[in-house]
Structure 1
Amino acid sequence: MKISLNWLGSLVDIEDKTPQEIDELLTMSGLEVEGLEEVEEVKGGLKGLVVGEVLECEQHSNADKLKVTKVDLGTEEPVQIVCGAPNVAAGQKVIVATVGAELFPSPTESFKIKKGKIRGEVSMGMICAEDEIGLGTSHDGIMVLDTDLPNGTPAAKYFNLENDHVLEIGLTPNRVDGSSHYGAARDLKVLLDRPIKSVSQEEIFNKFAVDNNNAPVKVNVQDTDACPRYSGITISGITVKESPKWLKQRLSSIGLAPINNVVDITNFVLHELGQPLHAFDLAKVGNEINVKFATEGEEFITLDEEKRKLKGNDLMIANASENMCIAGVFGGIESGVNDATTSVFLESAYFHPDVIRKTSQQHSIKTDASFRFERGCDPNMTITALKYAAALIKELAGGEISSEIVDVYPKAIENFVIDVKFKNVDRLIGQAIPQERVISILEGLDISILERTEETIKVSVPPYRVDVQREADIIEEILRIYGFNSVELSESLSADFLASFPKKDKQILQRKVTEMLAGSGCHEIMTNSLTTSKYSTELGDLDADKDVKILNILSADLDVMRQSMMFSGLEVINHNIRRQQKNVRVFEFGKTYHKEESGYEEREHLSIFVSGTSTDESWIRKATASDFHTVSSLVEKIFDRLNIQGVSVEYINNDTVAYGLQYIARKQVIATVGLVNPKAAKLAGVKQEVFYADIDWSALVKMYSADYKFKEIPKFPEVRRDLSLVLDKKATFASIKEIAQKTERKLLKNINVFDVYEGKHLSAGLKSYSVSFILQDENKTLNDKAIDKAMNGLIKAFETQLNAVIRK
């Protein structure tokens, strides 16, 4: 929502406050300012443009269409300017762009005035036409002024340009009372302790007068719960035309395009008072207005020329025979004001927020009116706004007010009455506030004091404050005006409960992992939790007795809930392969379902699938096939991202995983990674290799720790040593790593295998591992003696525990 400070200043005195001070005041009181922008009525503000007087005007000696002029700019000497306008003449008052001025003929183009020569004659500026300075479109000739202003007067002063500052307010849903300039002024009134200069009741009523009752309109309200109050009046004999400058300035400053004087007045009143209005062409209304619910399925064309199918709970404004407007949301194409309109029926109503909210959501229509109605307008503002707008229409469009005000308001909406204890005010705010200060704040906010004792007050809150209905709300109102910064902090701070670590947010962790996987080239998928029972009946790893069966199956292929995430992912891969997309890298967060003796069970998983190539073919390299390490590296990155510690691995192979690893932490399996068994892949129609990871997401969330440990980077260099170990074929790198870490705990920082060999140069049943060891002392530079001692200890451990032969 945008607030113009010039407009706001017409309601409450803020001349002595800077835009930044108003920004801070409103933000601290709950109307959070998200942006502050300076707005120029004319781009550039006509800087460098002044009023001048043409003293001499002679024909250019070298150009028939040019004149050489002498112009008085209020300086010591007149300046010479070459001008091509046909209407330039001596004695004229003109607008002159001086040397160095920047002109903006349109918002997207500009040019600077420079000293120059035109056909041999010096020119020290430019005499301007209106289109050259962004004030119009005419280029028939220069502007000739009718003014007594002295030469040299800034052009901005002559044109009465009104620059402005506009606040962008991020209005929270509960503060609909602040959705207008008047609403912001009400807060500033009490914050600054100044009287409001608003559209006062007296001023409105002095301007408003009913001329006759020649065009009365009967109003029928079908449901007064949906429309508790409906007010209206007719104005006849008007002339629809362009709005005056001041009104267009007001609307343009907050980003609204002026339309015509009648529509502009309804928008002006909406943004000044917060009360939506609608002007109907009286010729379309006739003499009857019906506020009623639509017939289910009937069609209605709105102002945007879109045909909409109405719902039975859409509240409509209709004449005797047809709909004219979706109440509180959007007008109809036929009933709006246009250039041919001579009489209008002006509507000012209060609709129930729930009714407008449903209609707005059902039709995906958001307007300035629906924004306010669905949050709760002021039911006591309808008549005030109606009289204000009617008086303005009569003033700017002519005509006469040709009916009495019709006001259907069978049951008045009462104020909220609330009991407040002074001790609760002090307790919740955390500081004793003088009772008189409390009273002055409440009365400044239009909250009346009905009763008062030494301990309590009974207050009456106007219905436009829909967010103030409890004692705690009253105390919040006191605090936001008193000022959060005015509450003193005690010397010692304490809290009733201090968490020892931050709460784990599963959604935040999921987003972290999603971003990491997406950044690694994976695409997220969402698959059906329903699957076929053939997977569990044909694979020994899945127990058919644990299938959660669907009672009313739609298809034999969707008869159970999935026990594994594998097959829905394989079906996605099959779908892609059939469409020539053979290189697939996808992941999914989802659930599996199991029937246990104790009942039904859901488990949360993260699955990852990689198939095809991991790098594309190019001129610089060949395509690289995806393998086990492609997916295992992703899993280990997830562990690092979530700070999962103490992970060990075990080798597995079964009906679903041909070979792979299980990752174990805290004595439970947290992930399974491997090659999908071709038998399982074939069941899903996939014939190429697929590498798969199944992660127990619930377990990872429980194990997640935000307690990262940091230490200083060592200042001393590391040393690398390599060993070639000939081992039994069954020996694993994991066993080498475990022995090395137990043997050399102080200096060994990292261990890695960089080559594996099996072949004719080794005996049957043996293989060779080439392993690198990184050694480092964090307190000093390693010498050969320390390095040799560490390596000899490792060699002895490998020879003893693995029967390794060290190749020289």
Structure 2
Amino acid sequence: MKISYNWLKQFIKIDWDAEKTGELLTDLGLEIEGIERYESVKGGLAGIVIGEVLTCEQHPNADRLKVTTVNIGAETPLQIVCGAPNVATGQKVPVATIGTTLYTAEGEAWKIKKGKIRGEESHGMICAEDELGLGESHDGIMILDNDLEVGTLASKVFDIENDDVFEIGLTPNRADAMSHHGVARDLKAGLLQKDVNLELITPSVSSYKIERRVLKVDVDVIDKEKCPRYCGITISGVKVTASPNWLQHRLKSIGLSPINNIVDITNYVLHELGQPLHAFDANKITDNKIEVKTCEAGTKFTTLDDVVRELHEDDLMICDGEKPMCIAGVFGGIDSGVTENTVNIFLESAYFDPVSIRKTAKRHGLNTDASFRFERGIDPNITEYALKRAALLITEIAGGEITSDISDAYQNKIKDFEVRLSFENATKLIGEEIPRETIKSILTSLDIKVNNVTEAGLGLTVPAYRNDVQREADIIEEILRVYGYNNIGTTEKLNASISNSSRFEDYKLQNIIGNQLAAQGFYEIMANSLTSPKYIELSEDLKSDHNVHMLNPLSNDLEVMRQSLLFSGLEAVSHNINRKRENLKLFEFGKTYHQYSDNREEYKHLSLFVTGNKTEERWNSTTNASDFFYLKGTIESILDRLGLNRLRSAPTKIDIFSEGMNLSLGKKKLVDFGLVKKSVLKHFGISQNVLFADFNWDNVIEMAQHNKIKFRAIPKYPEVRRDFALLLDNTVTFEDIHTIAKQTEKQLLKNVNLFDVYEGKNLPAGKKSYAVSFTLQDEHKTLNDKQIDKIMSKLQSNFETKLGAELR
């Protein structure tokens, strides 16, 4: 949220510099994220002075140039070469002196330097209005009023504005500070604690009066729950034109583009007081009637952005006698707004139910200044005052006259909150006793009324616009933020506690595996647990009945809790690939959420995503694409690090894989992994292969706790390797070879490894060749050739007998 310092000073006459004021606002909980400089004319006309042309003669070497001498109030006049056709003796003109920086229309800076033009020295520049940023004309130099004093700074002559603009990181609970008036109110309370007592100036509406009662618009609030209060008034005979400069400067300083005087005034009051307003062309209101109600589901409505939207049955609408004109509190309609031909207007000021506005705004994907305030809760008691304030500004700036009484539909008044504060509880929560008079002063400065005072505490009435202050703890928070967190002392005593925790705690195992994956080149991602309900359509294993729906979703794409980590991970993969980062290794620790008939459950997962090449391209090495076996090796390294081996593998039954397998230990499935289906990848715009692994982290932790780690000394004697090249049937797997080998030699055979597979030319049909290595080792002595040959002979015999193998 942007707050103009000049605008803020209209409410509180503070003379501090912007940095100091920003520090105080931050201490008050309105965190200043940055301070920007606003200049209505870029550069602020620095270095531009008023000069008088003393002489003007033809340039001896150029037909279109003149050599002038200009008095700028210095000891000697300046010689300036000028190419403007209208320059003449006796004129008062704006002069850019040497060293002055000017800006092009595109914002590019260029500096005035001493130089020679066709052999004649030039010590500055006589400027046109477009060169100064004061207009668009470049037909000639600006000719100024002869009454201006030579040497006067141009910044004091022209109507320009220089301002400091605060960027406030407003938290959602601070609806009361969503305006310049609200920020000034907080600033006044903060200044009071620094013994600076300034008046909070509120714009007067005492001059408000009804000129004639000639244009009445009847208001009927049908849905009083969604619209507790609705005010309206008519103003006739307005002239829609551009806004005056001061109003345009105010809006531009906070990043708004001026439109016309009527719309600009409604925006001005919105940011001044925090009350959204809307102006309708009164001549377009059928039957001179306003109805605040919902419409039938599916009703078509075209908004100001020329988008045809389909209304929901819960969308609150502002309608006339025939049709909807505006989505209440969110966005206007294309046919009912103010145009250059508008003469009569109906001005609306209302309080809408925050939940209703939020749901409607998110449902239609709209986020406006009005909805931003309505959905957080505005002041219901400022509605009529803001209407009068805007009406007076309109009649002052756009002419016209107020031609109706105020329609104020406010049947069920929104009440203030009653809260009891205990001094003892305040001291306990703050950690320090604040003087009671200081507490009362702070609360009073925040418009919180002290009804009664006892030895034990205070009876308070909190205004309705502070919907975030309804409990005793909220009151204490208000006291503390205004008193100043930095003013609360800290003890010199340091207390620490040590807790005994298992080495199998979730966070410890996460750190171990996270560090290991990072060392292997993986990057950790943290995706949103909220996701789109449409993703379940990509897998038959996921059921819509199991979705955990949000009661108040942020958007249609964040409507449910995720049932799988796959889709949020693929969003990250797609995002990176679209930015030319095609070689990815990602991992995420996260949860999935499921709604079952009797309860809700959540499960912890570790997901891996691998795509592209294993390593980046380099001149001294070749790159290989990441494949299934690379992912399998990474998975086994994770499980091995946790001491989980003797795993059983099987083909996976999860349908998001085109091919894959799972690993389990006992009856517990630990991980499913494989190649993600092309149809799933296509939904995310991914054309390259993506490998995915999904660990059931809950099962991994459980099995890791049962694992007993055994330590033994490193063998003193060498190991021996022997290889076989086996010709086998295509149906034989490496697992068959591994099992037979381990059964044949249980003591000395330490490892069996498949290091080459060949199928194709020069082999009989239905056959393949496996190159298998066998590692032998005796931990008590060195093996000799006789022992080794005997073991290899037994292995060969068993392979031939049980698998029909042949040595190649």
Question: What displacement does 1:631 show?
Answer: 2.5
Partner of 2:68: 69
- Name the residue aligned to 2:37: 38
- Tell me the residue number matched to 1:394: 395
Q: Distance in 1 between matches of 2:522 and 2:197?
A: 58
Which amino acid is the alignment partner of residue 37 of structure 2?
A: E
Contact 2:650–2:663 (CA under 8 A) maintained in structure 1: no
2:257 pairs with 1:262: no
One-letter code aligned to 1:146: D
How far is 1:484 from its partner?
1.0
1:191 aligns with 2:176: no
- Counterpart for residue 462 of structure 1: 463
In structure 2, the CA distance between the partners of 1:515 and 1:140, relative to structure 1 (3 Å rule), is farther
Counterpart in the other structure of 1:232:
232
Give the Cα separation in 2 of the matches to 1:129 and 1:722.
94
1:93 offset after TM fit, Å?
1.2
Q: Deviations over 1:123-146 (max 9, x none)?
A: 111100011122210112111111
List aligned pairs for 1:424-435, cutoff 5 A: 424-435=425-436
Cα offset, 1:662, TM superposition: 7.1
- Offset, 1:283: 1.1
Per-residue deviation, residues 447-481 of structure 1 (Å, max 9, x unmatched): 00111111121111110001011111111111111
Q: Deviations over 1:782-808 (max 9, x none)?
A: xxxxxxxxxxx9996553999669xxx
Deviates more, 1:242-251 or 1:293-302: 293-302
Deviation at 1:28?
A: 2.1
CA distance in 1, matches of 2:631, 2:411: 71
Give the aligned length.
682
Distance 1:509 1:292, change over 3 A: farther
- Structure 2 letter corresponding to 1:465: R
Other structure's SS at 1:37 match: strand
Decide whether aligned partners of structure 1 residues 217 and 518 sit closer, same or farther in structure 2, where only a CA change above 3 A counts: farther
1:527/1:265 Cα in 2 relative to 1: closer, same or farther (>3 Å)?
Answer: closer
Contact 1:756 1:770 in 2 (8 A): no
CA contact (8 A) 1:652 1:659 kept: no
1:415 Cα offset (Å): 0.7
Distance between the aligned counterparts of 1:498 and 1:371, measured in 2?
Answer: 45
Aligned to 1:143: 142
Query: How much has 1:357 moved relative to structure 2?
Result: 1.6
Distance 2:305 2:587 in 1: 43
Q: Flag the 1:519–1:212 CA change in 2: closer, same or farther, 3 A.
A: same
What corresponds to 2:783 in structure 1?
Answer: 799
- The one-character-per-residue Cα deviations of 1:587-607 (angstroms, maximum 9, x if unpaired) are 9999999xxxxx999986667
Give the % identical residues.
48
Q: Give the counterpart letter for 1:647 in structure 2.
A: G
Could you say which residue in structure 1 is the equivalent of 2:359? Answer: 358
**1:386 aligned partner, one-letter code:** L
Letter in 1 for 2:415: E
The answer as to whether partners of 2:355 and 2:375 remain within 8 angstroms in 1 is yes
Amino acid at match of 1:799: L
User: What secondary structure sits across from 1:383 in the alignment?
Assistant: helix
The answer to whether the 8 A contact 1:592-1:604 is kept is no
- CA deviation vs aligned residue, 1:675-697 (integer Å, no higher than 9, x gap): 99xxxxxxxxxxxx999977442
TM-superposition CA deviations, 1:689-728 (whole Å, max 9, x none) = 99997744224456999xxxxxxxxxxxxxxx99773469
Displacement of 1:22 = 2.0
Cα deviations by residue, 1:613-670 (Å, 9 ceiling, x for unpaired): 978999998885877752344226656xxxx8453644767778999997989x9885
What amino acid maps onto 1:25 in structure 2?
L
Q: How far, CA to CA, are the matches of 1:89 and 1:725 in structure 2?
A: 104
Give the match for residue 483 of structure 1: 484
Shift of 1:498: 6.6
Q: What is the distance in 2 between the residues matched to 1:616 and 1:492?
A: 53
State the partner residue of 1:215. Answer: 215
Q: Which deviates more from structure 2 when the two are superposed, residues 389-398 or residues 104-113?
A: 104-113
* 1:512 Cα deviation after fit: 9.0
Q: 1:725 aligns with which of 713, 720, 723?
A: 720
Q: CA deviation at 1:229?
A: 1.2
The answer to whether the 8 A contact 1:651-1:659 is kept is no
Alpha carbons of structure 1 residues 722 and 282: separation in structure 2 relative to 1, 3 Å: farther
The structure-2 alpha-carbon separation of the partners of 1:802 and 1:340, relative to structure 1 and needing over 3 Å to count, comes to: farther
Q: Distance in 2 between matches of 1:190 and 1:170?
A: 19
What corresponds to 1:439 in structure 2? 440
Change (3 A) 1:648 1:498: closer
CA distance in 2, matches of 1:226, 1:289: 15
- CA spacing shift, 1:183–1:691, aligned 2, 3 Å: closer
Q: 1:320 maps to which residue?
A: 321
Amino acid corresponding to residue 124 of structure 1 in structure 2: H
Q: TM-score, normalised by structure 1?
A: 0.72
* Cα separation, partners in 2 of 1:257 and 1:627, compared to 1, 3 Å: closer
Matches within 5 A, 1:374-523: 374-494=375-495, 504=507, 519=522
- The 5-angstrom pairing of residues 528-547 of structure 1 reads 530=540
- 1:117 is matched with 116
Equivalent AA in structure 1 for residue 24 of structure 2: L
- 1:423–1:112 distance in 2 versus 1, CA, 3 Å: same
C-alpha spacing 1:795/1:36, structure 2 compared with 1 (3 Å): same
Find the counterpart in structure 1 of residue 274 from structure 2: 274
Matched, 1:21 2:20: yes
Q: Who is 1:3 aligned against?
A: 3
Distance 1:601 1:248, change over 3 A: closer
CA contact (8 A) 2:41 2:134 kept: yes
Structure 2 length-normalised TM: 0.72
SS at match of 2:266: helix
Structure 2, unmatched stretches of 5+, are 528-534, 546-563, 567-582, 654-658, 677-688, 706-715, 725-736, 758-769, 790-808
Are 1:301 and 1:332, in contact at CA under 8 Å, matched by a contact in 2?
yes
> In the aligned structure 2, how far is the partner of 1:87 from the partner of 1:33?
49
Instruction: Determine if contact 1:449/1:458 at 8 Å carries over to the other structure.
Output: yes
CA distance in 2 between partners of 1:479 and 1:635 (Å): 52
Residues 267/638 of structure 1: CA separation in 2 closer, same or farther (3 Å cut): farther
Distance 1:801 1:413, change over 3 A: farther
User: What amino acid sits opposite 2:279 in the alignment?
Assistant: A
CA distance in 1, matches of 2:434, 2:114: 67
Q: Distance in 2 between matches of 1:703 and 1:163?
A: 67
- Is 2:3–2:254's contact at 8 Å kept on the other side of the alignment? yes
Shift of 1:69: 0.5
SS of residue in 2 equivalent to 1:3: strand
**1:133 and 2:128 matched:** no
CA shift at 1:228, angstroms? 1.3
1:159 is aligned to 2:158: yes
**One-letter amino acid of the counterpart of residue 434, structure 1:** P
- C-alpha deviation, 1:385, in angstroms: 0.7
Distance 2:323 2:509 in 1: 53
Q: Deviations over 1:461-517 (max 9, x none)?
A: 110001011111111111111111111112324489978699749999999999999
Q: Tell me if structure 2 keeps the 8 A contact 1:592–1:605.
A: no
Do the aligned partners of 2:297 and 2:311 also contact (CA within 8 Å) in 1? yes
2:579 alignment counterpart: none
In structure 2, what is the equivalent of residue 200 of structure 1?
202
CA shift, 1:158, in A, is: 2.0
Pairwise CA distance, 1:66: 1.6
TM-aligned CA deviation for residue 156 of structure 1: 1.8
Q: Distance in 2 between matches of 1:166 and 1:801?
A: 86
Cα distance in 2 for partners of 1:464, 1:514 equals 51
SS of residue in 2 equivalent to 1:223 = coil
Q: Give 1:10 shift.
A: 1.4
Separation in 2, partners of 1:293, 1:510 = 54
Distance 1:797 1:471, change over 3 A: farther
Structure 1 regions of 5+ residues with no counterpart? 533-547, 551-563, 567-582, 594-598, 677-688, 706-720, 743-750, 758-764, 772-792
Indicate if the aligned counterparts of 2:650 and 2:661 stay in contact, CA closer than 8 A: no
CA deviation profile, 1:290-339 (whole Å, cap 9, x unmatched): 21222222211111111111122221112222222111111111111111
Letter of the aligned partner of 1:373 in structure 2? Answer: F
User: 5 Å matches for 1:565-604?
Assistant: none
SS of alignment partner, residue 783 of structure 2: helix
CA contact (8 A) 1:70 1:79 kept: yes
Q: Which residue of 2 aligns with 1:175?
A: 174
CA distance in 1, matches of 2:327, 2:565: 48
* Paired amino acid for 2:271: H
